[in-house]
Amino acid sequence: MDVLQTISNRRSHRVYKADQLPEDVLGKILKAGLEAPSARNRQPWHYTVVQNAELIQEVHDEAAKVRLANGGSATYSNPEFQIFYYAPTVIFIFADKEFYWSHVDCGIAVENMALAAEGLGIGSVILGLPRAAFEGDKADELRAKLDCPEGYDFVIALSLGYATDTKPAHDLREENISRIK
């Protein structure tokens, strides 16, 4: 699949089969993340791959608890809802807290991984919602369980799996482009 077609085809999937990704496929997705460009080649990220459904659920539960306590959407109290959409694999991306460009660099890296996943026939959704889990009472415990390095913190996550939903392309908003000649 060529790059422009992969970009056009990529969707945020929210329904997955329970089947785990083969190691070679996961390795290619992670390699795409490692190959992402970063400011001053700092590579300020740390990727933690979780394929343990109980740990994924624990992060969800803490995020939901924090969001509900802070007036978050009632969606969090729906027992059917899970912020990772029950994907069998989640990559948590942590970043160097002191590097000014960490969030930008991690955004580039997660998109690299999402596009690699699409090119390999794997569905994904990029998630900021787990951030609340790292703002609550269990934040340090979860950082430890997820191998978050000292001086790093959660930035973004990527759910991965064999998608079973289909979505149309979103509308393109050409009015969001300015041209200055």
Domain with 109 in it: what CATH number?
3.40.109.10
Report d(CA 126, CA 38) in Å as an integer: 19
Q: How many domains are there within the chain?
A: 1
CA proximity to 154, closest of 47, 66, 71? 47
**Residue 106 falls within a domain, yes or no?**
yes
**Residue 60 falls within a domain, yes or no?**
yes
pTM: 0.96
**Residue 115 falls within a domain, yes or no?**
yes
List strand residue ranges (DSSP E) for 25-162, in order. 45-50, 89-96, 123-127, 152-161
**Residue 112 falls within a domain, yes or no?**
yes
> How high is the pLDDT of residue 80?
93
**Residue 181 falls within a domain, yes or no?**
no
Sheet with 123-127, side-by-side order of all strands: 45-50, 89-96, 152-161, 123-127
**Residue 30 falls within a domain, yes or no?**
yes
Per-residue pLDDT of the chain (181 residues; tens, 9 = 90+): 599 999 999 999 999 999 999 999 999 999 999 999 999 999 999 999 999 999 999 999 999 999 999 988 889 889 899 999 999 999 999 999 999 999 999 999 999 999 999 999 999 999 999 999 999 999 999 999 999 999 999 999 999 999 999 999 999 999 999 999 9
> How high is the pLDDT of residue 1?
53
**Residue 10 falls within a domain, yes or no?**
yes
Report d(CA 11, CA 128) in Å as an integer: 16
Q: Show the domain range for 122.
A: 3-165
The answer to whether 62 and 138 have CB atoms below 8 angstroms apart is: yes
